[in-house]
Amino acid sequence: MSIDWHALGTVFAVTLLSTVGLVGIFTLGILGMSRRGGGESAAPARGGAVALGRTGACLCFAACAAAVAYGISLIAG
Amino acid sequence: MEHITLLIGIVIATALVFDFTNGFHDTANAMATTISTGALAPRIAVAMSAVLNLVGAFLSVEVAKTISGGIVDESAGIRPAMIFAALVGAIVWNLVTWLAGLPSSSSHALFGGLIGATLVSVGTHGVHGDAVVTKVIVPAVAAPFVAGLAAMLATRLTYRLGRNTDPAATSLGYRAGQIASAGLVSLAHGTNDAQKTMGVITLTLITGGVIAPGSNPPLWVIVSAGTAIALGTYIGGWRIIRTVGHGITDIQPQQGFAAQTGAAATILASSHLGFALSTTQVCTGSVLGAGLGRKGAAIRWGTAGRMVAAWALTLPAAGLVAGAATLLTDRGTWGVTVVGAIGLAACAAARTISRRRPVTHANVNSVGLPAEPAATPVTAPQQVPAAGAVPEAAETGAAPAPAAVRPSAAEAAALAASTAGPADAARVPGTADATGAAGAELPAVLDPVRAPVAPAAVAAVTPPPAPTTA
């Protein structure tokens, strides 16, 4: 009987990294989207920060969408 | 091409019934947390899961080339009657765990059935013990740890990153994330498990000489297997969804998202890196991990313990039923008929028993939930009334006819503790009301599950602030 510890270890590492990575990236995306720029009284400069946040969020979501697409291709493969 | 004999027809029908129970058993894997956090309305969630299961069935053509994946020696003479007995064993165990609301692996049930049938019909040399360890036991034991740790770390991370944000502003994002990862799990499930049934049917057709060895499944096999699993998914195993979504821990959107993503990542990574882990164990493990990852979240270890007990029992229990069924089916046509009749009776009984305390899309989320989503401190006091409610329920039940009812009232309390978990205090009196019926009838069916675990559940309830925090 031979248990493939190496494969199990690889699965463990890949799972850990991909889960934590994806959840982290997605959370950053959510944070970028939910940035309000400090409400009405905020300085105009805040507008730039909001736009930056939005752009970053879009990048994060795009990365997650790519991961989902890769997942689908794995299932179909 | 020969005609399909009656026996092969029966085996195919039974395989589709198994596929159906597989569907409703495993809806929880993909959708439990999505439903419990409210990311999707219950019926929409199961509909989406059903559609993705159906799509998944068509997505891959790589049908399982063996029924058991090398666990039993199929060349030693696997016959349709044995497959039939194995399927009956798997179906019966699936129904028992479903009644108890416990998520158990349908694949393990099928493997257990095949092992039991082979042991009785062929003997011990027909079972590959090594393969049982490497393909069933190790993946099942490793799965909750791998998925649980990933989900726990991901939960910690997402709470830490989002600690200064307004939950209202982020809830939409978490919702979308949960739906996407739940969709992936559904798709992977449809591909894996519908393929399994297709493999069983195809190999049955081959052993019966209906189609040539090595041929791909006919289109009607793909369509019927996909439809059966999708239908099962849509009907929805609400009992199991409730256990996974509410019974283990109270899930918040962040946790639901982390758990689902962890489950999807584990399933995909493991099946494509050559060490397939058990889906059911992955999904429940990731829910447990998400519970451990949030500070102050209560884990109901009693429920978790009962699930582990059900996992451990799946293989032997399904094997026992299948072995007994094989004794009959080996006698010939009358034996097959008797097993078929018993199987149908078991399905009817399960249905009747489930009607006594139905769990549907309407009440899947309503039990054990505080009025508002629980804030951290609420979870501990919430268990105190639960501990008090159990004896109270026993009294209510015992009041009308103390001498006669007391034992079954005690059983009802134990049952309530074992099937409901601490947070289900709201349901306990209701259980006791029907003491005569539920208390008398359920234990007979649920004994295999309940017997070894009820004490653990009770122990988890009695100390007021149960071992909860993470």
Q: Which residue has the tokens 């539920």?
A: B438
Binary contact (B150, A27; C-beta < 8 A): no
Let me know how many helices (H) and strands (E) chain A has, helices first.
Answer: 2, 0
Binary contact (B257, A26; C-beta < 8 A): yes
Domain of residue A47 covers 5-76
Distance from CA of B255 to the nearest CA of A (A): 10
Distance from CA of A36 to the nearest CA of B (A): 9
Cα B202 to Cα B210: distance, rounded to the nearest angstrom? 9
Cα angle, residue B63 at apex, residues B61 and B68 outer, rounded to 5°: 165
Per-residue model confidence as pLDDT tens digits over A52-68: 888 888 999 999 999 99
The conformation of residue B243, written as its DSSP 8-state character, comes to: I
pLDDT band at B408 (very low <50, low <70, confident <90, very high): very low
Cα B299 to Cα B467: distance, rounded to the nearest angstrom? 8
Binary contact (B258, A23; C-beta < 8 A): yes
Distances (CA, A) of B444 to B430, B434, B450: 20, 16, 10
Phi, psi dihedral angles at B150 (to 5 degrees): -60, -45
Which of A3, A15, A30 is facing B138, going by the closest CB pair?
A3
Pair of tokens at residue B148: 């649980």
Per-residue model confidence as pLDDT tens digits over B46-91: 999 999 989 988 887 676 666 777 788 777 667 888 889 999 999 9
DSSP H or E stretch at residue B176: helix B167-207
Rounded to 5, what percent of chain A is helix, strand, coil? 80, 0, 20
Closest by Cα among B253, B6, B296, B280 to B143: B280
Cα A71 to Cα B188: distance, rounded to the nearest angstrom? 9
Pair of tokens at residue B75: 């060349």
pLDDT band at B401 (very low <50, low <70, confident <90, very high): very low
Closest by Cα among B225, B204, B21 to B114: B204
* Whole-number pLDDT of residue B257: 92
DSSP H or E stretch at residue B410: helix B402-415
Pair of tokens at residue B443: 């234990």
| Percent over 70 (pLDDT), chain B | 75
Binary contact (A19, B191; C-beta < 8 A): no
Residues 6+ apart with CB under 8 A from B224: B16, B201
Tell me, rounded to whole angstroms, the distance of Cα B199 from its chain centroid: 21
Residues 6+ apart with CB under 8 A from A70: none
* Whole-number pLDDT of residue B63: 64
Binary contact (B268, A74; C-beta < 8 A): yes
Work out the average pLDDT over B399-425: 40
Distance from CA of A59 to the nearest CA of B (A): 14
pTM over 0.80: no
Asked if the C-beta of B272 comes within 8 angstroms of chain A's C-beta atoms, the answer is: yes
Cα B42 to Cα B61: distance, rounded to the nearest angstrom? 31
Pair of tokens at residue B7: 């026996």
> Between chain A and chain B, how many beta carbons pairs sit less than 8 Å apart?
126
A65: closest chain B residue by CA: B180
Tell me, rounded to whole angstroms, the distance of Cα B353 from its chain centroid: 18
| Percent over 90 (pLDDT), chain B | 33
Cβ neighbours of B268 in A, within 8 Å: 71, 74-75
Half-sphere CA count of A16, side-chain side, radius 13 A: 10
Asked if the C-beta of B273 comes within 8 angstroms of chain A's C-beta atoms, the answer is: yes
* Whole-number pLDDT of residue B298: 86
Residues within 8 A of A (CB atoms), B 234-263 only = 257-258, 261-262
pLDDT band at B437 (very low <50, low <70, confident <90, very high): very low
Per-residue model confidence as pLDDT tens digits over B366-396: 755 433 333 333 333 333 343 333 343 333 3
Which of A31-40, B48-57, B201-210, B368-377 has the lowest average pLDDT?
Answer: B368-377
pLDDT band at B192 (very low <50, low <70, confident <90, very high): confident
Work out the average pLDDT over A23-44: 72
Cα B181 to Cα B183: distance, rounded to the nearest angstrom? 5
* Whole-number pLDDT of residue B61: 66
Binary contact (A20, B138; C-beta < 8 A): no
* pLDDT at A33 exceeding the cut of 90: no
Binary contact (B146, A11; C-beta < 8 A): yes
Work out the average pLDDT over B388-413: 39
Binary contact (B273, A10; C-beta < 8 A): yes
Asked if the C-beta of B174 comes within 8 angstroms of chain A's C-beta atoms, the answer is: yes
